[in-house]
Each structure stands twice: as C-alpha cells, then as structure tokens.
A = this chain, B = another copy of it.
Amino acid sequence: MPQTLDQQMAFLAEIEKLKSVTRATPIHDASRPENSAEHSWTLALYAVILADQAPAGVDIFRVVRMLLIHDLVEIDVGDVPIHSQNGTAHDSTAIQEAEAAAAARIFGLLPKPLGDDLHALWTEFEAHETPDAIYAKSLDRAQPVLLNLQAGGGSWIDYDVTLAQVEERVGTKVARGLPALWDWVRARITPWFEARG
C-alpha cells in the first residue's frame, strides 16, 4: 500500500513538468504560448461539452482520460507543431520512437495495472482507429484552430499557413470524428484567411 501510493505520487509529481512544455498556439489573448497541460484541460472539457456530437458508441470518460494523458510524452520529447517543417515533422519515425520511449518511462512510474491501462489508452489515441480515439483526435485538432482564430492568427501567421493546408492537415482529422463541427469551424476561419489574402 505505501509503495503503491509512493508510485502514484511519483507519477503525479512527474506530470507537473508538462506545464513547462509550450505549444505553437498562443492562448486566447495572444499574450503567451499555450502549454500542453492547460491544452489537455481544454480538450477534456471539449469532450464533456460536445458529448452529444460524439459518434455512436463513444465512452466519454474513456475519452476524457485519454485526453488528460495524451500529451504526457512531451515531457521528454517536447511538442512538435502540426505546421512545422511544412507539415512533415509531426508524424516522423524519429518522433514516434522518442514518444514511445517516453510513454514507457512515464507510465512505468505507476503501479503495474494502472500504468499499463493508461499506456494502452495512449497507444490507442496515437493509432486513432477506435471510435473513442477518433473522437479524441478530432477534438485535439479542432481546439488549436479555434484558439488561433481567437488569438488573431497565432501559428497560422508564424508558419505562413494557407486555408488549404489547414483543411488538409487538420480539417480532415476533425471531420473524421466530428463532421458537423468541422463545417462550423471552417465557416468561421474562412473569413480570416480571405482577409489575409
């Protein structure tokens, strides 16, 4: 029992470091970059608030747990922006191997059954093939788009991104789980890209 609690608390101390991992997207007022811990909080609330939009069969609590832990590997690897290296860096083999090693280290801090359970949930998120993972990934792709819009452009300006690139790199993944949401988002971001010309 004390050893179990020691392991649980070691994990909870480790995850505090995610607050130091910054993302390409700025927060709402563009005053600073968003970090991956507060990003994960936002996504967990997206999953709760948009539950009525989720595909049939989705388990919202599983999705919430998945989103709470989906970026923990960034404690070791950092965030790899979607639009960096012209959209190619994010899914590179080197990044995926580093993230897999990070997952083994971080979830390995936990007592065995719980750590294995969360590790499997992370692996499922990364594969984005199950209904739960598809819904989770759609939210993970939608929120930064809306935050860029709220902040006046954000990483679209920094990486000189076009609407077509947002459609291809982000929109297809949002639409896979949440087609109505992507329609809603696209209608709101299109004027921003048209005004930029």
Task: Encode contact with B along A1-20: 1 for CB under 8 Å, 0 otherwise.
Answer: 11011001101110111011
State the number of copies, please.
2
> Does B8 lie within 8 Å of A49, measured CB to CB?
yes
The interface residues of chain B lying within 8 Å CB-to-CB of A35 are: 38
> Does B20 lie within 8 Å of A29, measured CB to CB?
yes
A114 within 8 A of B: yes
A42 within 8 A of B: yes
A180 within 8 A of B: yes
The interface residues of chain B lying within 8 Å CB-to-CB of A37 are: 38, 41-42
The interface residues of chain B lying within 8 Å CB-to-CB of A48 are: 65, 68
The interface residues of chain B lying within 8 Å CB-to-CB of A184 are: 2, 5, 9
> Does A41 lie within 8 Å of B20, measured CB to CB?
no
- Which bracket fits the contact residues of A? 35 or more
Given A5-B180, A44-B44, A181-B5, A114:B49 Cβ within 8 A? yes
In the complex, what distance in Å separates the CA atom of A49 from the CA atom of B9? 9
> Does A44 lie within 8 Å of B42, measured CB to CB?
no
Quick one: which of A38-61 are within 8 Å of B by CB? 38, 40-42, 44-46, 48-50, 52-53, 60-61
> In whole Å, how far is A121's beta carbon from the nearest beta carbon of chain B?
10
In the complex, what distance in Å separates the CA atom of A143 from the CA atom of B9? 10
The interface residues of chain B lying within 8 Å CB-to-CB of A45 are: 12, 15, 68-69
> Does A27 lie within 8 Å of B38, measured CB to CB?
no
Given A15-B42, A41-B41, A9:B65 Cβ within 8 A? no
Quick one: which of A92-151 are within 8 Å of B by CB? 110, 114, 143, 146-147, 150
Across the A-B interface, give the 7 residue pairs with the lowest CB-CB distance, nearest first: A41-B41, A16-B28, A37-B38, A61-B61, A38-B38, A19-B27, A37-B41
Chain A to chain B contacts (Cβ below 8 Å), 9 pairs: A5-B53, A5-B181, A9-B146, A12-B45, A12-B143, A16-B42, A38-B41, A44-B44, A45-B69
